[in-house]
């Protein structure tokens, strides 16, 4: 794997089917949504962000690549999203938890919308790296503890490039 994050390589570690439904918490302008939408071509991706600007950029990018299985949602995942309980197969949390004030609430919200066999992909900054945020980085051990508290199971850990760690949680 190269030094920085490669969403396509990381997504290939998951057992994805074309007809799955996914949600990307804190999607930004679509660095993960676009490659995921190409894999889930018969499925649907909820692209969720707290800011309108990156969602607009994502919409333009998706349109230019003829991708039409993305639904944009303007929302704060810490306050909840308008997605039905038990309705998605996969939730992405990439470079998100270090920014969240209430990390446990974010994990609870992901668990709420996950189907019974659903998974959460968490990728975040390694604490020891000089890149990324100066403060509030969270370790995979801390995420595993929070996940256990909200009823999630840690299924797999992996290196996600030189500066990030990865974790797959399961409902």
CA dihedral 169, 33, 105, 126 (to 10 degrees): 60
Answer whether residue 1 is part of any domain: no
List the CATH number of the domain containing 159. Answer: 3.40.50.150
Written as tens digits, the pLDDT of the chain (171 aa) is 445 778 998 998 899 999 999 999 999 999 999 999 999 999 999 999 999 999 999 999 999 999 999 999 999 999 999 999 999 999 999 999 988 999 999 999 999 999 999 999 999 998 887 777 777 788 899 999 999 999 999 999 998 888 899 999 999
**Cβ(81)–Cβ(73) below 8 Å:** yes
Answer whether residue 134 is part of any domain: yes
pLDDT at residue 3, rounded to an integer:
56
Cα–Cα distance measured from residue 67 to residue 56, given in angstroms and rounded to the nearest whole number:
14
Answer whether residue 2 is part of any domain: no
Answer whether residue 147 is part of any domain: yes
- Domain hosting residue 77, numbered range: 7-170
Structural domains of the chain, count: 1
DSSP β-bridge partners for residue 116:
none
pLDDT at residue 49, rounded to an integer:
97
Cα–Cα distance measured from residue 75 to residue 14, given in angstroms and rounded to the nearest whole number:
26
**Cβ(159)–Cβ(166) below 8 Å:** yes
**Cβ(12)–Cβ(171) below 8 Å:** no
pLDDT at residue 47, rounded to an integer:
98
């Amino acid at each position: 794997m190269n030094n920085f994050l490669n969403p396509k390589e990381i997504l290939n570690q998951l057992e994805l089917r074309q007809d799955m439904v996914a949600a990307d918490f804190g999607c930004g302008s679509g660095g993960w949504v676009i490659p995921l939408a190409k894999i889930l071509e018969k499925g649907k991706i909820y692209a969720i962000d707290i800011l309108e600007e990156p969602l607009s950029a994502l919409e333009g990018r998706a349109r230019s690549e003829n991708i039409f299985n993305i639904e944009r949602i303007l929302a704060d995942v810490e306050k909840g999203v308008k997605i039905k309980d038990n309705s998605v197969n996969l939730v992405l949390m990439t470079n998100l938890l270090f920014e969240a004030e209430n990390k446990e609430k974010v994990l609870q919200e992901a668990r709420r919308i996950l189907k019974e066999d659903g998974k959460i992909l968490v990728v975040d900054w390694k604490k020891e790296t000089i890149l990324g945020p100066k403060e509030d980085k969270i370790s995979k051990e801390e995420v595993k503890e929070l996940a256990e508290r909200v009823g999630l199971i840690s299924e797999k850990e992996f290196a996600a490039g030189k500066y990030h760690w990865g974790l797959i949680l399961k409902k």
